């Protein structure tokens, strides 16, 4: 295999690994969101909780940046 061909393959591998990393992060975020929806369904008929309150109650990781009490991004 030529040096140029080897470099192209190496670049393609790096690119695919970055795509896999991105997809894994997205899947993890979607799984966390599903956990929150399931937790809210368990609390049906009770007081509605915010996204962050549900995560805290059920010990779920938060991937969201810190939020101010009004729900907006903290500075």
Considering the domain boundaries, does residue 12 fall inside one? yes
Per the structure, how many domains does the chain have?
1
Considering the domain boundaries, does residue 72 fall inside one? no
Considering the domain boundaries, does residue 20 fall inside one? yes
What integer pLDDT is reported at residue 10 of this predicted model? 93
Considering the domain boundaries, does residue 62 fall inside one? no
* Residue pLDDT tens, the chain, 75 long: 688 888 999 999 999 999 999 999 999 999 989 888 888 787 777 666 777 777 888 887 766 555 555 555 554
Domain residues for the domain of 44 are 3-57
What integer pLDDT is reported at residue 9 of this predicted model? 92
Considering the domain boundaries, does residue 29 fall inside one? yes
Q: How far apart are the first and last CA of the chain?
A: 53
Q: What is the pLDDT of residues 55-65, one digit of tens each?
A: 888 887 766 55
Considering the domain boundaries, does residue 63 fall inside one? no
Considering the domain boundaries, does residue 43 fall inside one? yes
């Amino acid at each position: 295999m030529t040096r140029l061909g080897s470099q192209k393959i190496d670049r393609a591998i790096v690119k695919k690994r970055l795509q896999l990393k991105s997809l894994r992060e997205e899947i993890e975020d979607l799984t966390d969101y599903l956990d929150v929806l399931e937790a809210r369904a368990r609390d049906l008929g009770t007081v509605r909780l915010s996204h962050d309150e549900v995560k805290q109650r059920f010990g779920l990781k938060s991937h969201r940046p810190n939020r101010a009490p009004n729900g907006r991004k903290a500075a």
